Amino acid sequence: MTSGKLIVITGPSGVGKGTLVKLLLAHHPDLSLSVSATTRPPREGETEGKDYFFLSRDQFENMIETGELLEWAEYAGNYYGTPRQGVEEKLQAEEWVVLEIEVVGARKIKQSFPEATRVFILPPSLAVLEERLIKRGKDSKAAIAQRLEHAETEIAAAEEFEFCVVNDDLDRSLVKLEKIIFQPSQKD
């Protein structure tokens, strides 16, 4: 790797961003994942500093005010944001950094990093997205309904992004993502 690169993976909740990013990092240990800050309480099994930096609203708002976040957004009642320092240090060290973030934040990244490679992950259909959210078993019925409603607006913005991948078959989607990241000039 000859220079730093910022890779942004975005798309609606439940589309498979986390699953794809995990596979991508397992196949390419050179890539570095940015750990986000959030005011959402930790879920069972989540670790501070590994999955997220878990902050109070006051702490998060302080980071916004002091410009410590590269981007941030409010999603389903909680704040989520990318700590600036870690990403900038990694890019300066010529690392390739992956952000897995929701759509509003991914949009904002374009302003500070016009060169970023941004990939929007699409579900094969809204029905499949709903199925995945239900199967994942992490969200209440009401939360799933809220996420699906939100997904429709997010999907309408997909065309703004440099690349789109429909996450149908997981292995095929991973290959498409790898092509976008490592061979962006080649068309398939």
Ligand X SMILES: Nc1ncnc2c1ncn2[C@@H]1O[C@H](COP(=O)(O)OP(=O)(O)O)[C@@H](O)[C@H]1O
User: What is the binding site for ligand X (CB under 6 A)?
Assistant: 13-19, 132, 135-136, 167, 170, 173
Minimum Å gap between C-beta 104 and ligand X is: 15
The answer to whether 12 is a known ligand-binding residue is yes
Burial label, 61 (beta-carbon count in 10 A; 0-12, 13-18, 19+): middle
Minimum Å gap between C-beta 102 and ligand X is: 9
Collapsed DSSP state (helix, strand, coil) of residue 74: strand
Tell which one of 102, 117, 119, 120 touches ligand GDP (CB under 6 A): 102
Q: What is the longest distance spanned by two Cα atoms in the chain?
A: 47
Contact region with ligand GDP (CB under 6 A), list: 56-64, 68-76, 157-165, 166-174? 68-76
Identify what 102 binds: ligand GDP, ligand X, none; CB under 5 to 8 Å per kind.
Answer: ligand GDP
The answer to whether 13 is a known ligand-binding residue is yes
State the virtual CA torsion across 150, 13, 60, 57 in degrees, nearest 10. Answer: 70
Do residues 147 and 13 lie in contact, with contact meaning Cβ atoms separated by under 8 Å?
yes
Containing 24, the helix (H) or strand (E) segment is helix 17-27
Contact region with ligand GDP (CB under 6 A), list: 74-82, 90-98, 116-124, 167-175? 74-82
The answer to whether 81 is a known ligand-binding residue is no
